[in-house]
Structure 1
Amino acid sequence: MAEIKHSRKACSVNPLKMSQPIGGALAFMGLRGAMPLLHGSQGCTSFGLVLFVRHFKEAIPLQTTAMSEVATVLGGYDNVEQAILNIHKKTKPEIIGICSTGVTETKGDDVEGYLKIFREKHPELSNLKLVYVSTPDFKDAFQDGWEKTVTRMVEVLVDEPSEGVAKDPARINVLPGCHLTPGDLDELRTILEDFGLEPTFLPDIAGSLDGHIPDDFTPTTIGGIGVDEVAAMGRAAWTIAIGAQMKRPAEALKIRTGTPFKLFERLCGLEPNDELMRFLSRITGRPVPRKYRRLRGQLVDAMLDGHFHIGGRRLAIGAEPDLLNDLGSMLHEMGAHMTAAVTTTQSPVLEHLPVDEVLIGDLEDLEIMAEERGCDFLVTHAHGRQMSKRLNIPFFRAGIPTFDRIGSGHQLSIGYRGTRDLIFRIANMLIADHEDNHEPTPDTWREGESHSHSHGAAASAH
């Protein structure tokens, strides 16, 4: 069992953690026709906007209430009202999702009260969905903001089932964690459909942030799950939640609709996917499709091939808890030693990680631990690139933000196929690093040959 420790530094030197409000904003981007709205200063929104644009390489819908110093002191109702009216007039969203920030939480703005007043003053906008989530950025992290926002969506948007209406056994709800990419969601959707199921994802960033080009420009999200589809989630027979962070939203959905849920803490690796296949076969009464039996065999073979290159590596990893559990556990099963682990926030999965201790800290902490413990392999987001150069160790980018590579939204790490390809990517990276640092260059060969010739000539002379 891992020991959880907290960094005692007075400040974060090289941040690993991202804030709750942008975690909540990303969750709202998984709704169709949505406009996320951060209740705070313009700088808070600008930071999140730049981060998402650099990661996804897409247009990102994100607005602000633009709180000034005076507005913050006097209260933000006027700013909230004006922001909602302007957004509705210019973009006609189906839903506006409001996340608080540190400045308005410190002031103590009663945003739920503001929305009640707004509804009374503007009955003409009664059909506009408004969802508010408290996400102060002076506590918790990105993963917590996502979790709280999805829970609030369930509480506000999902209809309670009518009496006498039976559950549809072909329908299944999916609550994905923030560590899953649009590519991961597409893979999971394919798996579920191959079992004859009709999945509903909340949120569905695969529909809005997968890089597709719409026929017409829209200032709101260009895909994702519709508000009407969220309302009907109570008719599904089952819910599956991916990542420990999604247990709370799954429990909220069960309380509201009576739909049972199954929690998968991770879907990267052989055993987690075996468990998924057994579960889907049981609830549908269908055998596992032949293609997944073949993909499982390919994964086993990839594990055999990859362990020669991954096994024995001393891993330094920094990530949100569920991503840390996903990748760290899979690499441990491949024979790597998780020697240094740093994360951003508390989670029940941390205690079960195959490592002596997990530090809630920053990338400076990870770098110090990696150097002291002789780590030779780094996994974290793009801000780890300077660390990898200083330590001179190979670096695998994982998580948000990954701004110095393209295609981050399509990185796949779940299912048999995703795990297989992830092993190949990591093993090939380690092979290339070994070749670059250990294989002799052509110049070295020529120098060796000249030395051999000179030695041979000297021997002949003797």
Structure 2
Amino acid sequence: MAIVSNPNKPVVVNPLKQSQTLGAAMAFLGLKGMIPLLHGSQGCTAFAKVIMVRHFREAIPLATTAMTEVTTILGGEENITQAILTLMQKSQPEIIGLCTTALTETRGDDMQGILKDFRKRHPELNDLPIVLVSSPDFKGALQDGFAAAVEAIVRELPQPGRTIPQQVNILASSAFTPGDIQQVKDIVTEFGLIPIVVPDLSASMDGHLADSWSPITVGGTTVEELRKIGSSAFTLALGESVRTAASILEERFQIPYEVFTELTGLQPVDEFMQALSDLSGLSVPDKFRWQRRQLQDAMLDTHFYFGRKRISLALEPDLLWSTVLFLQSMGAEIQAAVTTTRSPLLENLPIEKVVIGDYEDFEQLAAGSDLLIGNSHAGNVARRLGIPLYRQGIPIYDRLGNGQVTKIGYKGTMDILFDIGNILLETEERKARELSYEM
């Protein structure tokens, strides 16, 4: 059991966490024909857009209600109305994700009332799905906003229907990259199951050339698929933060669910494969049995470099959990763990302490580590401490291919094994050369 510490600092130095609004907008980008609409100032939207463009290296569709000093005081109802009407005229989205920000949450705009009044004034748009999510910047972090958007989607859009035995819902947390989601879809379909992924970033943020430019997302989960979620036979919740969303579906449609808090490592993937086998009634396909043998060999090859290594991490809770357990399974020791927000997982981590803090806390705790794991903002910490950095999380702006990175399943686990193993191997060889020069 870990002790969860939240330092009472008067100011955040070198922030680790990203805002809830960014997380909610990113989740909405996994829906087809979507444009997220941020109810706040233009700066709020510009900041989120810059982060996602630098991370995914894709055109990111985001819109803003462009609140000013005057409209903030008088109320933002007219700004929301005009923003939606302008989007329908210029972009023609199939669905809109309306995200609140700290500015409008602090003012206390009645968002439900505003949307209800909008529907009355513009009945011609009653068929347009508008998903509202409360995602203020002043509390929580990216993971919370992402999970809140998923909860809003499954609360508003699915409709009841006759159960489709082979159809399963997959609710994915912010810890999973577009490449991870594609791997999950490939695995699930091999068992003869039909997955509906919420949100499906693998079809929108994976990095592909579209036939033509579009002001809205060109891939992702369709509105029709979202309506059919209530007909699924089972829900696979990937990440602790989407447990609530899975429970909403269970309450609304009596769909049973299972939560998989990690899909990296031999045992977690084995358990996922067994669950899919039980659901489908099919045995695990031979291709995955072969990949499992490859992973076992990779673990034998790399464990020499992981054993007794001191590793420090600064990640969102879901990603922190899965990465810590994976590293410990390979014999590494966790020197420091810093995260962004509270989660039921934190106290159950098999380490001494978890700090909810910033990169200043991380730098103080990580001194003397063999490896750091964090997003690109940890680069300065790594340089000052002279410790190699393995990049995970959001944003990663000094590496290419973030939309394709895969760290789950047997194959993804091999990739992360070799990536981290090569860093540790290179560090050992450099130290050996320096020692030989000194002698």
Alignment-mate amino acid for residue 57 of structure 1: R
Task: State yes or no: 1:250 paired with 2:275.
Answer: no
Secondary structure class of the residue paired with 2:196:
strand
Structure-2 residue corresponding to 1:400: 394
CA contact (8 A) 1:332 1:354 kept: no
Partner Cα separation in structure 1 for residue 218 and residue 359 of structure 2: 34
Structure-1 residue corresponding to 2:154: 154
Percent of residue pairs identical: 48
CA contact (8 A) 1:317 1:379 kept: yes
Where in structure 2 are there 5+ consecutive unaligned residues?
A: none
Q: Write out per-residue CA displacement over residues 299-357 of structure 1, whole angstroms, 9 at most, x where no aligned residue.
A: 11111211111111111100000000111110111111111000011111111212101
Aligned length: 439
Secondary structure class of the residue paired with 1:146:
helix
Give the 4+ runs in structure 1 shifted more than 3 A. none
Task: State yes or no: 1:384 paired with 2:341.
Answer: no
Structure-2 residue corresponding to 1:370: 366
Alignment-mate amino acid for residue 396 of structure 2: T
Q: Write out per-residue CA displacement over residues 27-70 of structure 1, whole angstroms, 9 at most, x where no aligned residue.
A: 11010000001100111111000000000000000111111111
Structure-2 residue corresponding to 1:263: 259
Secondary structure class of the residue paired with 1:16:
coil
Secondary structure class of the residue paired with 1:179:
coil
TM-score normalised per structure 2: 0.98
Counterparts in 2 of 1:418-429, with a 5 A limit? 418-429=412-423
Alignment-mate amino acid for residue 95 of structure 2: I
Alignment-mate amino acid for residue 108 of structure 1: G
Structure-1 residue corresponding to 2:51: 51
Instruction: State the shift of 1:397 in Å.
Output: 0.2
Match of 1:320 among 313, 316, 319: 316
Structure-1 residue corresponding to 2:270: 274
Where in structure 1 are there 5+ consecutive unaligned residues?
A: 449-462
Structure-2 residue corresponding to 1:138: 138
Task: State yes or no: 1:198 paired with 2:194.
Answer: yes
Instruction: State the shift of 1:102 in Å.
Output: 0.4
Partner Cα separation in structure 2 for residue 42 and residue 7 of structure 1: 32
Structure-2 residue corresponding to 1:460: none
Structure-2 residue corresponding to 1:114: 114
Partner Cα separation in structure 2 for residue 389 and residue 375 of structure 1: 13
Partner Cα separation in structure 1 for residue 424 and residue 218 of structure 2: 38
Alignment-mate amino acid for residue 219 of structure 1: P
Instruction: State the shift of 1:401 in Å.
Output: 0.2
Match of 1:179 among 166, 175, 179: 175
Alignment-mate amino acid for residue 182 of structure 2: D
Alignment-mate amino acid for residue 399 of structure 1: G
Task: State yes or no: 1:212 paired with 2:211.
Answer: no
Counterparts in 2 of 1:271-350, with a 5 A limit? 271-350=267-346
Secondary structure class of the residue paired with 1:409:
coil
CA contact (8 A) 1:338 1:354 kept: no
Structure-1 residue corresponding to 2:236: 240
CA contact (8 A) 1:382 1:401 kept: yes
Tell me how large the CA RMSD over aligned residues is. Answer: 1.3
Structure-2 residue corresponding to 1:105: 105
CA contact (8 A) 2:95 2:129 kept: yes
Partner Cα separation in structure 1 for residue 55 and residue 431 of structure 2: 30
Task: State yes or no: 1:35 paired with 2:32.
Answer: no
Instruction: State the shift of 1:440 in Å.
Output: 5.0
Structure-2 residue corresponding to 1:9: 9
Q: Write out per-residue CA displacement over residues 203-259 of structure 1, whole angstroms, 9 at most, x where no aligned residue.
A: 101111011111111100110011111000111111100000010000011111111
Secondary structure class of the residue paired with 2:98:
strand
Instruction: State the shift of 1:437 in Å.
Output: 4.0
Instruction: State the shift of 1:73 in Å.
Output: 0.9
Secondary structure class of the residue paired with 1:70:
helix
Query: More displaced, 203-212 or 48-57?
Result: 203-212
Structure-1 residue corresponding to 2:76: 76
Task: State yes or no: 1:430 paired with 2:427.
Answer: no
Alignment-mate amino acid for residue 392 of structure 1: G
